[in-house]
Every structure is written in C-alpha cells, then in structure tokens.
C-alpha cells in the first residue's frame, strides 16, 4: 500500500475527542492491531485547520504513541503522520477512501 507523508507545519491541529480503541469488527470484539508495532490501535479525532478551512479528521495511532496529558481542546502534533489510499468490496459495492495513521500524537510544545 502506498503512503504519503502529511506536512503539518502550516496547519493547526486541535484535539477534538479523547482517544478510543479501534476495532476490526462492528461489534467491538476484535481490537485492531497495528501491523508495524503489534500494539492495539486507537482512533484520535482532531480539528485540522488549514488555509482558512477546518474539518475533523480521524487518525489511527498505536496505543504506546498516545501522549500523556492529552485533553480535548489542546493543540497537538503527530509524529509520522501518513495518508494511505484503500479500496475493497463491501456488500458487492466497490469502496475506497484514505486512511490516516501516525506513530504518535502529543501535546504541541508551548501549548
């Protein structure tokens, strides 16, 4: 799968929700595991503001990469933030999208 790094230097990222475990199934029985580290994945919602526009995005982060003291409303920065295109067939329909993953999320220095 091809990945592209995301430059955050010109964007403002604000933590929009507390992290939550990511599951492979809809019933929340099978935790999603990070292929690179073997750790459980968490979902982190942030407000991503750039060039006068803002939207909430969700980023997958392995559990050890969740910074200490993260609180909703704090500016954050991701380490190793990448975008990956995906596609598959679900119920006979082709689906595609972009998945975001980072090695870590921490409170922005000086915030």
| ∠ CA 22-28-73, rounded to 5° | 40
Residues 6/7/8/9 CA torsion (nearest 10 deg): 180
- Overall pTM > 0.75: yes
The domain limits of the chain are 3-107
Please give the class, per CATH, of domain 3-107: mainly beta
List the pLDDT tens digit at each of the 111 positions of the chain.
Answer: 688 999 999 999 999 999 999 998 888 789 999 988 899 999 999 999 999 999 999 999 999 999 999 999 999 999 999 999 988 887 888 888 899 999 999 999 876
Neighbours of 46 (CB within 10 A): 22
């Amino acid at each position: 799968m091809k990945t592209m790094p995301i430059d955050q230097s010109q964007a403002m990222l604000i933590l929009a929700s507390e992290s939550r475990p990511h599951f492979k199934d809809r019933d929340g029985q099978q935790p999603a595991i990070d292929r690179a580290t073997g750790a459980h994945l968490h979902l982190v919602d942030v407000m991503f503001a750039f060039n006068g526009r803002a939207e909430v995005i969700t980023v997958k982060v392995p559990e050890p990469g969740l910074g200490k003291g993260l609180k909703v409303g704090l500016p954050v920065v991701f380490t190793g933030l990448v975008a990956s295109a995906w596609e598959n067939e679900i119920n006979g329909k082709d689906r595609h999208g972009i998945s975001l993953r980072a090695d870590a999320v921490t409170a922005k220095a000086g915030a």
